[in-house]
């Protein structure tokens, strides 16, 4: 990896250095079994298993209750949920990898190189975006093989693909802040618990009407449900504006809370050991 061809203060330094560091991260993640499993294998496996184990029952229940309209299939809920869960799992794996870089002193060594100070964190954002898009595309391909189809046109399909990207970048901002301030074991346990709760108590798992009355308030308004509902509407049909606006609100809230701590913590972790 050569970073000395463009001086730190030269015009274009931020763009060129960010591109090089983004490529480094993508190659590193591609060689990391944990990141590959969490980002690609786990969500696609979850999608297939849920479709095999519960797909028919959930579809029949939704059609019997006349919840989403004729022609509905549970894939229109489990595909969005699997995409969002893959986003969260991949971000957690990336945060663990960054924690290892912090502990090994790689971040501090990168800090003394003649590169733009913002390029390291910006590269992580771009690499996360690439990982999220690739993971979502893979899930859609697998879903297509088992019967999933976009029924609302190409523009709706593009917005469908953009929802996990937006959700994932907000979630990655949160886990980056956690990774640079917390112990690795604590972070993994916390993220696993949060991801599991959001997944099992969401409308991607079963329709809202299938949950007990006391749990419906949480299920209806938690971020994974709003993202799933928006993506279901974009793929199959149904309400889109309200769940999409709620998802945007959740993402904006999380980003506004954790962006500054993530940036400050990354710089602090990078300077450690100098």
What is the pLDDT, as a whole number, of residue 9?
Answer: 59
Per-residue pLDDT of 44-100, as tens digits, reads 999 999 999 989 999 999 998 889 989 999 999 999 999 999 999 888 887 777 777
Does any domain span residue 8?
Answer: no
Q: How confident is the model at residue 8 (pLDDT cuts 50, 70, 90)?
A: low
Evaluated on CA atoms 232, 77, 195, 208, the torsion sign reads: positive
- From the CA atom positions of the chain, what is the Rg in Å? 20
Does any domain span residue 221?
Answer: yes
Residue 5 has pLDDT above 70, yes or no: no
Does any domain span residue 167?
Answer: yes
Specify the higher pLDDT residue, 35 or 184: 35
Q: Are 55 and 73 in contact (CB under 8 A)?
A: yes
Q: Average model confidence (pLDDT) for the chain?
A: 86
Structural domain of 128: 13-271
Does any domain span residue 5?
Answer: no
H or E element that contains 145: helix 119-145
Does any domain span residue 135?
Answer: yes
Does any domain span residue 131?
Answer: yes
Q: How confident is the model at residue 1 (pLDDT cuts 50, 70, 90)?
A: very low
Number of independent structural domains in the chain: 1
Q: Region 235-249: what's the mean pLDDT?
A: 96
Does any domain span residue 260?
Answer: yes
Does any domain span residue 7?
Answer: no
Single pTM value for the model: 0.88
């Amino acid at each position: 990896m050569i970073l000395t061809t463009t001086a730190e203060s030269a015009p274009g330094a931020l763009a060129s250095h960010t591109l090089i560091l983004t490529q480094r991260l993508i190659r590193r993640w591609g060689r990391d079994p944990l990141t590959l499993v969490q980002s690609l294998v786990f969500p696609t496996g979850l999608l297939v298993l849920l479709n095999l184990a519960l797909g028919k029952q959930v579809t029949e229940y939704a059609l019997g209750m006349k919840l989403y309209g004729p022609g509905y299939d549970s894939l229109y809920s489990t595909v969005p949920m699997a995409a969002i869960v893959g986003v969260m799992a991949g971000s957690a794996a990336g945060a663990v990898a960054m924690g290892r870089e912090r502990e090994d002193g790689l971040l501090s060594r990168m800090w003394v190189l003649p590169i733009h100070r913002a390029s390291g964190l910006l590269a992580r954002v771009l690499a996360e975006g690439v990982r999220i898009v690739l993971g979502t595309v893979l899930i859609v391909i697998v879903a297509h093989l088992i019967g999933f189809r976009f029924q609302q046109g190409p523009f709706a399909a593009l917005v469908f693909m953009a929802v996990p990207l937006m959700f994932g970048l907000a979630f990655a901002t949160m886990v980056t802040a956690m990774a640079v301030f917390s112990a690795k074991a604590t972070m993994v346990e916390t993220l696993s618990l949060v991801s599991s709760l959001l997944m099992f108590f969401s409308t991607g798992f079963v329709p809202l009407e299938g949950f007990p009355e006391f749990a419906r308030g949480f299920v209806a308004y938690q971020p994974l449900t709003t993202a799933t509902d928006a993506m279901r509407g974009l793929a199959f049909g149904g309400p889109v504006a309200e769940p999409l606006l709620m998802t945007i609100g959740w993402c904006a809230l999380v980003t506004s809370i954790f962006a500054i701590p993530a940036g400050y913590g990354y710089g602090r972790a990078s300077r450690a050991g100098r």
